[in-house]
């Protein structure tokens, strides 16, 4: 058996101490990116005796396993005594440095021993090279060590780590044995075994798999089970289950728990956003503001070991319990638990976001056999665009200039310079303008970035530090995205209604960036109930021609769902009027009056929703027989739960199931939920059985026409695609399919879906219908009630 750890993770894990203090690190991500440039610059300057980026590996044998420590030394300098060079970029004043940072020196000493052991060297030199990233000034700290001294020190580190490696070894044996015995927990539904086989084969062949899987296929279990089996056979070492929403994280968590209940030994962690899991009212990560940050590193390893040896399921509540017990940061503890977890359930950000991704797994020099299971993968297109786009606003430079004026004149001057660089672009901009070059502006922003970094390094207690830091992160992100600019980006400027002016690096096609991240995994499985047309998603989500795609057949009886298309209404802008709102309201009345129950009604926007609701209230609402509730523009988590709770029969009310039963017995009132398509209630919610008996979808879901959508349209037109499809029709139809998918959630469910827009009868939309929509009825407002009544008569 092999237990593997990187040099960086080893020294940081064993040697860490003291407090969390975000005041000491202004922006580590940007420093890493800039540090990479410094590394390359220094390495290029060295002579022929200098070997750059040397991969090293040391195997420590124990009776039960081999502990493999691996990494990449920045440089090896050949000479009478070989020197290991460790390069670090910094904005600190090099003259004030008394010596190298302990953890940096420890990394270099690891490489020095590994080289000495491999080449039988009696003595080694270690050179710490610090480079000021603003001035490019260098300072060296050189030390000489005998091989015996390095060996004693290095083996001491390994001995400290041994209890963790011992546990990992024992755990892997138990986990593997349990996986071999694990059987699929239910009788396979039709097509489910084939789907699990596709997933397994994709893992074996190291490919991506794109799955269009209608509700009821059991796609979570059908992807998790073969991934677990592959892990048990040594084809992977860790599973990342990636989601866009909290509710789908719960589904994944429940699936792993189901397999644990069937005998699987498998450790999982759920990563919760720092702001949600933080114990403090204000998330300030420094010892002065947070008692959990104060001395965190002195206590964290004991906390981890306790949790590791007593639990297998590290959800938010479990992490919080142990974090309080040991008085450590729960967010950092959950990240540390990921190192010892077989499955990591988290947001897309932790793999794809250039600032948030898990560096302990994905940083340079660390290789891993990972599996990415990406749930609701249709969401990753827009999320990818957001993560890899960047915007700066002219007025923000001027606002910060006023704030820092009396604290740093150089920064004040550079903020003004950036603002002035935008003036010519602003004069040329008429509403929205695509531009070809912003080089002079970017040069000014780069200089500002260096000054802000230095200020943050030198002024821990500055009263304007938070303002500088917040804007610094925006600037850093902009510069990092600028470095990524290629044909998949469009640069545009926009003059807002309030006269503010912005410049945006718009990642219109995120496929290259997403693909780069997916290359960190052995295999990526992308799945959704709405991944149509699959070639559209495959092209934007980083798929190659050789990657696989599969359409999983629905397992539900199609006769249990009635699909109606209203042929005499539309949501087109040209037809929006009081008359049309009344026509739509008529449909709502005619459909819902035929059976008491819960209905969700989806609209293209809040304003459209409000207009139809007012018409319904005026002409049809019977408060004795029905109640309407409306999705608000802004809803808290508690508001959302209350809204959904109404559909779930008021479950969770304080008097419990007894009240719920009484409500059910006397329920002769329909509940109509007015919602916005693409919003919080149109996907990811699971209303089973009679919790929802109908979804009425008004309009084709097309995004509102705006500058950015028009840029997308023009971009894909120029690429030879149908720009309207890419910018409007495909994203709109996805919202429709998601909303419709709320109705039939189990084999027992019976319900109706009504599409109220005559455009659904056109070929461009019908080609996007899933296979299970092959049968539908065309209706008008005066016919629909009879058709709906006939359907319910067949099932009640």
Q: Are domains 182-243+343-388+510-553 and 558-795 of this chain identical in fold?
A: yes
- The answer to whether the CB of 126 falls within 8 A of the CB of 142 is yes
Question: In CATH, which of 1.10.10.10, 3.90.320.10, 2.40.50.140, 3.20.20.60 is domain 2-164?
Answer: 3.90.320.10
Q: pLDDT value at position 37?
A: 62
Q: pLDDT value at position 412?
A: 97
Q: pLDDT value at position 10?
A: 94
CA dist 451 and 448 (Å) reads 5
Question: Counting beta carbons within 10 angstroms of the beta carbon of residue 512, is it exposed (0 to 12), middle (13 to 18) or buried (19 or more)?
Answer: middle
How big is the chain, counted in residues?
A: 796
Largest CA distance in the chain: 95
> What tokens does 334 get?
């959950």
CA angle 274, 362, 543 (to 5 degrees): 105
Q: pLDDT value at position 227?
A: 98
The mean pLDDT value for 441-463 works out to 91
Cis peptide bond prior to 179, omega within 30° of 0? no
The mean pLDDT value for 638-646 works out to 88
Q: pLDDT value at position 154?
A: 97
pTM of the model: 0.90
Instruction: Tell me whether strands 390-393 and 238-243 are parallel, antiparallel or unpaired.
Output: unpaired
> What tokens does 294 get?
């104060």
Element (H, E) at 241: strand 238-243
Residues forming a β-bridge with 372 = 240, 524
Q: DSSP secondary-structure letter at 266?
A: -
Residues 78-98: tens digit of each pLDDT:
989 999 999 887 777 788 888
- The answer to whether the CB of 328 falls within 8 A of the CB of 296 is yes
Q: What residue segments make up the domains of the chain, in order of their start?
A: 2-164, 182-243+343-388+510-553, 267-341, 389-507, 558-795
Q: pLDDT value at position 29?
A: 38
- The answer to whether the CB of 492 falls within 8 A of the CB of 711 is yes
Q: DSSP secondary-structure letter at 436?
A: S
CA dist 789 and 74 (Å) reads 74
CA dist 442 and 31 (Å) reads 17
Residues 343-369: tens digit of each pLDDT:
999 999 999 998 888 888 887 545 578
- The answer to whether the CB of 301 falls within 8 A of the CB of 10 is no
Residues 674-727: tens digit of each pLDDT:
999 988 888 777 777 788 999 999 999 999 999 999 999 999 999 999 999 999
- CATH number listed for the domain at residues 558-795: 3.40.50.300
- The answer to whether the CB of 770 falls within 8 A of the CB of 212 is yes
Higher pLDDT, 794 or 32: 794
- CATH number listed for the domain at residues 182-243+343-388+510-553: 3.40.50.300
Q: If you average pLDDT over every residue of the chain, what do you get?
A: 91
Q: How confident is the model at residue 647 (pLDDT cuts 50, 70, 90)?
A: confident
Higher pLDDT, 747 or 50: 50
> What tokens does 687 get?
């209303």
The SS3 assignment for 63 reads coil
pLDDT beyond 50 at 654:
no
- CATH number listed for the domain at residues 389-507: 1.10.275.40
**Which residues fall within 8 angstroms of residue 653, CB to CB, at 6 or more apart?**
645, 659, 660
Kindly give the residue spans of alpha helices, DSSP state H, lying in 598-722. 606-619, 637-647, 657-666, 707-718
The SS3 assignment for 224 reads helix
Q: How confident is the model at residue 39 (pLDDT cuts 50, 70, 90)?
A: low
CA dist 168 and 162 (Å) reads 10
Q: How confident is the model at residue 661 (pLDDT cuts 50, 70, 90)?
A: very low
> What tokens does 410 get?
């150089």
Q: pLDDT value at position 459?
A: 87
CA distances from 576 to 206, 699, 725, 778 (A): 51, 11, 23, 21
Using CA of residue 415, residue 417, residue 423, residue 425, what is the dihedral sign?
negative
CA angle 268, 271, 272 (to 5 degrees): 140
Residues 464-520: tens digit of each pLDDT:
999 999 999 999 999 999 999 999 999 999 999 889 999 999 999 999 999 999 999
Share of the chain above pLDDT 90, in %: 73
Q: pLDDT value at position 33?
A: 44
Q: pLDDT value at position 366?
A: 54
Instruction: Tell me whether strands 390-393 and 626-630 are parallel, antiparallel or unpaired.
Output: unpaired
CA dist 479 and 91 (Å) reads 17
Residues 583-631: tens digit of each pLDDT:
999 999 999 999 999 999 999 999 999 999 999 999 999 999 999 999 9
């Amino acid at each position: 058996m092999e237990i593997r750890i990187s040099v960086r993770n080893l020294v940081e894990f064993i040697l860490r101490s003291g407090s969390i203090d975000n005041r000491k690190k202004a922006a580590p991500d940007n420093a890493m990116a800039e540090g990479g440039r410094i590394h390359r610059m220094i390495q290029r300057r060295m002579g022929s005796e200098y070997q750059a980026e040397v991969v090293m590996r040391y195997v420590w044998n124990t009776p039960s396993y081999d502990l493999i420590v691996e990494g990449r030394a920045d440089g090896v300098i050949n000479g009478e005594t070989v020197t290991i060079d460790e390069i670090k970029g910094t904005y600190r004043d090099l003259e004030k440095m008394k010596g190298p940072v302990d953890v940096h020196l420890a990394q270099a000493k690891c490489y020095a021993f590994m080289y000495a052991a491999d080449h039988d060297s009696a003595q080694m030199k270690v050179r710490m090279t610090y480079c000021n990233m603003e001035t490019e000034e260098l300072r060296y700290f050189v030390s000489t060590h005998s091989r015996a001294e390095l060996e004693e020190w290095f083996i001491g580190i390994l001995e400290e780590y041994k209890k963790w490696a011992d546990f990992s070894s024992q755990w892997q044996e138990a986990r593997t044995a349990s996986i071999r015995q694990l059987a699929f927990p239910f009788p396979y539904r039709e097509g489910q075994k084939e789907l699990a086989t596709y997933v397994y084969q994709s893992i074996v062949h190291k490919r991506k798999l794109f799955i269009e899987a209608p509700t009821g296929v059991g796609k979570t279990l059908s992807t998790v089970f073969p991934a677990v089996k592959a892990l048990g056979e040594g084809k992977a070492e860790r599973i990342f289950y990636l989601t866009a929403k909290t509710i789908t994280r719960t589904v994944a968590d429940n699936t792993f728990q189901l397999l644990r209940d069937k005998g699987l030994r498998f450790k999982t962690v759920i990563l919760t956003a720092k702001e949600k899991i933080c114990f403090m009212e204000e998330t300030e990560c420094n010892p002065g503001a947070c008692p959990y940050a104060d001395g965190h590193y002195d206590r964290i390893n004991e906390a981890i070991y306790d949790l590791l040896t007593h639990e297998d399921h590290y959800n938010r509540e479990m992490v919080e319990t142990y974090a309080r017990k040991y008085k450590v940061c729960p967010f950092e503890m959950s990240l540390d638990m990921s190192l010892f977890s077989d499955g990591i359930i988290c947001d897309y950000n932790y793999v794809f976001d250039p600032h948030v991704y898990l560096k302990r797994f994905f940083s340079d020099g660390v290789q891993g056999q990972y599996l990415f299971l990406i749930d609701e993968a249709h969401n990753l297109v827009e999320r990818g665009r957001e993560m890899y786009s960047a915007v700066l606003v002219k007025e923000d430079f001027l606002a910060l200039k006023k704030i820092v004026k009396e604290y740093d004149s150089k920064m004040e001057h550079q903020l003004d310079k950036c603002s002035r660089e935008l003036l010519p672009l602003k004069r040329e901009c008429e509403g929205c303008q695509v531009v070809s070059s912003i080089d002079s502006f970017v040069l000014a922003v780069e200089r500002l970035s260096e000054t802000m970094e230095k200020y943050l390094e030198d002024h821990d207690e500055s009263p304007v530090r938070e303002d500088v830091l917040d804007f610094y992160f925006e600037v850093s992100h902009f510069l990092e995205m600028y470095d990524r600019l290629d044909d998949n980006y469009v640069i545009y400027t926009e003059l807002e209604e309030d006269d503010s002016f912005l410049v945006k690096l718009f990642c219109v096609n995120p496929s290259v960036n997403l693909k780069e991240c997916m290359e960190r995994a052995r295999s990526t499985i992308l799945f959704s109930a709405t991944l149509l047309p699959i070639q559209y998603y495959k092209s934007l989500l980083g798929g190659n021609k050789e990657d696989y795609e599969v359409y999983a057949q629905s397992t539900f009886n199609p006769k249990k769902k009635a699909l109606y298309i209203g042929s005499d209404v539309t949501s087109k802008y040209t037809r929006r009027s009081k008359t049309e709102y009344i026509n739509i309201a008529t449909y709502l009345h005619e459909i819902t009056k035929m059976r008491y129950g819960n209905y969700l009604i989806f609209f293209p926007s809040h304003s459209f929703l409000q207009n139809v609701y007012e018409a319904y209230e005026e002409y049809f609402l019977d408060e004795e027989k029905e109640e309407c509730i409306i999705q608000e523009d802004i809803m808290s988590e508690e508001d959302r739960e209350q809204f959904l709770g109404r559909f779930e029969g008021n479950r969770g009310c304080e008097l419990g199931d007894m009240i719920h039963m009484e409500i059910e017995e006397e329920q002769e009132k329909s509940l109509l939920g007015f919602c916005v398509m693409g919003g919080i209630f149109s996907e990811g919610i699971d209303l089973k059985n009679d919790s929802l008996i109908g979804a009425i979808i008004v309009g084709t879901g097309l995004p509102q026409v705006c500058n950015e959508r028009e840029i997308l349209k023009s971009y894909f037109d120029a690429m030879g695609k149908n720009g309207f499809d890419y910018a409007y029709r495909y994203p709109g139809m996805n919202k429709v399919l998601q909303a419709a998918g709320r109705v039939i959630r189990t084999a027992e469910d019976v319900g109706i879906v009504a599409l109220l827009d005559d455009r659904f009868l056109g070929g461009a939309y019908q080609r996007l219908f899933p296979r299970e929509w092959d049968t539908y009825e065309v209706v008008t407002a005066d016919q629909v009630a009879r058709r709906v009544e006939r359907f319910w008569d067949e099932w009640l």
